Amino acid sequence: MNTVKHPHFDRRIRTKKEIKQLIAERNHVLSQFYGLTHHIDDPKKGDLETLHELLQEFCQDLIDYIATGHFEIYRRIEERQERRHEILELSDEVFHKILDTTKVAINFNDLYDFSNDLNPEVLKEFPMQLSELGQNLAVRIELEDRFINTLLSPRIRQTESTH
């Protein structure tokens, strides 16, 4: 029996794998995020060295998670290669919001990832910045879930090729 590979089927399998990876990374980042919030809230855990280590690991994983979204899930949109009508419509509606959350995450990373200067002035702003990041992560997750649900929908149709 001769098995014929279908590009559409292969793409769906790859998409599901990329989505699983994104969700796993997202869950890990959320776990770290909550760990950071508990670290701040519990004065017994308030030593700077531990906070610095937690922040560096969190920032690295945050950037990995953000990159996975852009390089795996949103790549076809950013490269204008997406042809599925529902994805294009959703992209027009929400992709700029996802890019906004990316900017917030990158700014947070730039502030805290390699900073050896966790002095009282920097730390005074940390709870507010962590809260802002948390709000943006919540928005991002909601938008990602919309993309994921649309990507996995069996009823997606492609737009006519203009090539």
pLDDT in tens, 10-29: 777 888 899 999 999 999 99
Q: What is the CATH number of the domain that holds 11?
A: 1.20.120
* Of 82, 99, 98, 94, nearest in space to 151 by CA: 82
Residue 15: inside a domain? yes
CA 136 → CA 9, 23, 105, distances in Å?
Answer: 34, 16, 8
For the chain, give percent helix, strand, coil, nearest 5.
80, 0, 20
Residue 160 binned pLDDT confidence (cut-offs 50, 70, 90): very low
Residue 88: inside a domain? yes
Residue type present at position 5: K
Residue 156: inside a domain? no
Q: Determine the Cα angle at 63 with ends 114 and 122, to 5°.
A: 35
pLDDT at res. 161: 42
CA-to-CA distance for 62 and 7, rounded, in angstroms? Answer: 32
Residue 108 vs residue 158, higher pLDDT = 108
Mean pLDDT score across all residues of the chain: 82
CA-to-CA distance for 50 and 85, rounded, in angstroms? Answer: 48
Residue 157: inside a domain? no
Residue 132: inside a domain? yes
Number of domains composing the chain: 1
Residue 93: inside a domain? yes
CA-to-CA distance for 128 and 104, rounded, in angstroms? Answer: 13
CA-to-CA distance for 100 and 41, rounded, in angstroms? Answer: 28
Residue 162 binned pLDDT confidence (cut-offs 50, 70, 90): very low
**Two tokens, residue 153:** 């929908």
pLDDT in tens, 59-103: 999 999 999 998 887 877 777 777 788 888 888 889 899 999 999
Domain interval for residue 135:
7-151
Residue 2: inside a domain? no
* Of 74, 83, 80, nearest in space to 158 by CA: 83
